Structures are given as C-alpha cells and as structure tokens.
Amino acid sequence: MDIADKLIQEHRLTKDEGVELLNSWQDPAVADKLAAEALRVRREVYGNDIYIRGLIEFTNICKNNCFYCGIRKSNPEPDRYRLKKDEILDCCAYGYKLGFRTFVLQGGEDGYFTDERLTDIVKEIKSRYPDCALTLSVGERSYESYKLLREAGADRYLLREETANEDHYKRLHPSDLSLHTRLNCLYDLTSLDYQVGAGFMVGSPYQTMENIAEDLVFIQDLEPEMVGIGPFIPHKDTRFADFPAGSVELTLFLLSVIRILLPDVLLPATTAVASMIDPEGRVKAMLAGANVLMPNISPIEHRKEYTLYDNKEGITSNAESKLKELKESMEAAGFEIVFDRGDHKTLLKSTSDSETDELEKEEKKKKKKKRRRKRKNRKTNKRKRKKEKPAHQEPEEKQAASGKKEKTETKKG
C-alpha cells in the first residue's frame, strides 16, 4: 500500500512515513488524492460550513526577539501601539454587528497586559457577548495566568509550537526562548481545557522535511482542536530577510495531511496563505481541507504596524467589505460561511442513538485526557533525564543571544 493510502486508511503517520509522504508533495496525483480525501472527511464532520473569527491584533509590543518576526522587540521600525480596553471593546461591537461570534485577541508578549488587565478585558467581552467564544493568542504565560484567563471566560488559545524540533527551534529563536517552555505552555493550556491551537510555519529558514514530519507527528499526538499553518514570509527588518518564502503548494498539501490526521480539527486558511495568492489562496485552502477564516477586525489605522511579515494581506480592507468578498468567493466554491461560535466538533461514528452519542463523546474525552497526561509525564521524565547533561548551544545562537548580531542586522534593515 502506498503511503498516501496508508494515511487515508489509518489516519496516522510515523516520522519516517511522514518524510516519505512529504517527498511526494510535488506529485500532483498524490496532492490531488489527499485533497479529495481531506475535503470528503471535512464534509463528513463539518459539511460545507466555514467558521469565521474576528481577529483583533491588539498590541504589537513584544518582549521577544523571534528571528523571523517583524514585530520582534529589537526592530526599531514599526510604530508601536497598544489598544485601550475601550478600543478592543469597540472592535468586538463592530465585529458582533457584522455577525462574528468568535473574537481572537492576538498580540505580542506585551508586559502591560498583566493577568489583572487581561482578565478584566476577557470578563468584559464575555459579559457583553455571552453568546461569543473568545480566543487568546498572546504567547507564553504561566500556568497560573492561563488558569486565571480561562476562569475569566477565555475559551480557546492559539500557540503555535513553530517547530517541534529542538535544534530547529534554536535556529529560529534567541536562547532565552526554548521549545521546552513552548511545549509546556501547550500542555498547560490543554490541561486547563482550552480548545487549543498548535501549528508551524511552512518553509521557515533551515526547516527540513524531517522537521515537518516531526511537526505532523507532534500534532497527531497532541490532538489540538485547532492547527494554524501558513507559509513563512520573510520580513525585511529581520535576519531572515533574504530567505525564500515558504511554498503555498506545500502548505496546501499539509493542510490536507493535517485534515486527514485529525478529521475534526479546526483548520484556518491563514492570512499568510492569502498574502501570497489572494484571493484564490483562501478558496484553495478550503478545497485542501481548511474550514476556518479569520478576517481582521482591528482598527485600520494600526494594521500596517502589525507586520509579522512583508506584504501582509488585508492591511487596508475594512472587515465589512472583506466579509462580503469572502462570502461570495466561498459560496462560488460551494461553501457557506456560518455565523455562530464554530466550536470544535468531536468526530463520532454515525449512530442514531443520541444517548450512545453522549457516552461515546464522554469516553473519547476521557481517553484523550489520559493520553495527554501520559504524554506529559513522558516528557517531564525525558526532560529530567536530559537536565543531567550539559545544555548544547551552537556558536551562532550564542552570538544571537548576546545581541551582537541583532544590532548589525537592525542597521542593515
């Protein structure tokens, strides 16, 4: 049996199988087969429905220096902004009027948003819009902080692992950031019962097919409710300015693979996909298995300052006309945008008995929790063992950590 058929039948991949599959991404026959299956599976779970999220980019202030990111701390270029509570609430009011029932608060790791301030905002949004889901995407925080935010009413959390390979992680981040911490955050969020979103950039600098296969295996094991992937796009003021952008075609291929691995996953056609081939980009992503769109409802005057990468899509379009345009293009492709919270659906085998349904759901949830606990224990033990060994750091990363290289590059930019 070839590897694509195996994936279709078993909904699982080992790392080696992932690499083998990825080596055929440029073969249209394989890509088409996977896309057709992804679409079939997606229809089985979500019909032709497309969920929408109103994206609010509420701060571009960040304490981190991720090498790929345009709003990293050491970039002097963007004018920094931070929305006031009232401005965030205005975005929600506007989004609500347009029909959005999920708001996503995304931003840099901005110290101003302490637990107290952020929980206050979360509570206010949830009390004004109890029929809406609230997603946070504000990076790494402590378990206690995630807990407070969850208790305040946050429903979902997006935190891409960026890469599941430790060495690759080090090549994309300064040494004060670690994959270890990133993954722990994901496990914390999972244990707090958030609907969790993981994910990675496709074609990020130094990424190999092995790395992508590792991400696929990581995602299939974590079983997040959402997966965000998009092509890496270079930003002129970063050390990766001259690296090539990731491939949209490979991204589409991976959307199909992820849909097949996790049939009930919420899978957005990300802005990065649209930025490279709008307007067909989003339709192509849907045809490859995606089922979520995240139009920007942030104030237009700040959009150009939230440049994670160059030529970002949607900098000037207002949400109302964007939504209209999306509705039309999605309908033309046979999909329908629905105006509800668009929660994750647990895939159930077809049965007419709703009681069995409920039992199965409970059973599935329990099993998932158990698997996650086991995995977390395994990781902790592995880390404990590793701690005994000295930490490995490459010369290049040392230089980056000292900030030397950062300075030269800033000048260059």
CB nearer to ligand SAH: pick between 20 and 109 = 109
CB nearer to ligand SAH: pick between 201 and 213 = 201
Smallest gap from Cβ 67 to ligand SAH, in A, equals 9
User: Could you tell me how far CA 178 lies from the centroid of its own chain?
Assistant: 18
Smallest gap from Cβ 374 to ligand SAH, in A, equals 26
Smallest gap from Cβ 201 to ligand SAH, in A, equals 5
CB nearer to ligand SAH: pick between 68 and 103 = 68
Do residues 261 and 21 make contact, with C-beta atoms less than 8 angstroms apart? no
Name beta bridge partners: 230: 201
From residue 350, how far is each of 84, 265, 364 by CA, in Å?
47, 18, 14
CB nearer to ligand SAH: pick between 272 and 283 = 272
CB nearer to ligand SAH: pick between 73 and 376 = 73
Three-state SS string across the chain, please?
CCHHHHHHHHCCCCHHHHHHHHCCCCCHHHHHHHHHHHHHHHHHHHCCEEEECEEEEEECCCCCCCCCCCCCCCCCCCCCCECCHHHHHHHHHHHHHHCCCEEEEEECCCCCCCHHHHHHHHHHHHHHCCCCEEEEECCCCCHHHHHHHHHHCCCEEECCCECCCHHHHHHHCCCCCCHHHHHHHHHHHHHCCCEEEEEEEECCCCCCHHHHHHHHHHHHHHCCCEEEEEECCCCCCCCCCCCCCCCHHHHHHHHHHHHHHCCCCECEECHHHHHHHCCHHHHHHHHCCCCEECCECCCHHHHCCCCCCCCCCCCCCCHHHHHHHHHHHHHHCCCEEECCCCCCCCCCCCCCCHHHHHHHHHHHHHHHHHHHHHHHHHHHHHHHHHHCCCCCCCHHHHHHHHCHHHHHHHHHC
Do residues 109 and 72 make contact, with C-beta atoms less than 8 angstroms apart? no
CB nearer to ligand SAH: pick between 18 and 230 = 230
CB nearer to ligand SAH: pick between 96 and 200 = 200
Smallest gap from Cβ 311 to ligand SAH, in A, equals 11
CB nearer to ligand SAH: pick between 276 and 330 = 276
Smallest gap from Cβ 370 to ligand SAH, in A, equals 27
Check the CA dihedral 164-166-172-176 and report its sign: positive
Q: Which of 98, 119, 120, 85 is nearest to 53 (CA)?
A: 98
Give the number of other Cβ atoms within 10 Å of residue 116's Cβ: 8
Smallest gap from Cβ 392 to ligand SAH, in A, equals 24
Instruction: Give the binding site for ligand SAH (CB under 6 A).
Output: 68-69, 106, 108-109, 137-139, 159-160, 162, 201, 230, 232-233, 235, 272, 308-309
CB nearer to ligand SAH: pick between 160 and 170 = 160
Smallest gap from Cβ 268 to ligand SAH, in A, equals 11
Smallest gap from Cβ 233 to ligand SAH, in A, equals 4
Smallest gap from Cβ 306 to ligand SAH, in A, equals 9
Smallest gap from Cβ 202 to ligand SAH, in A, equals 9
Smallest gap from Cβ 46 to ligand SAH, in A, equals 24
CB nearer to ligand SAH: pick between 69 and 326 = 69
CB nearer to ligand SAH: pick between 72 and 126 = 72
Name beta bridge partners: 56: 105
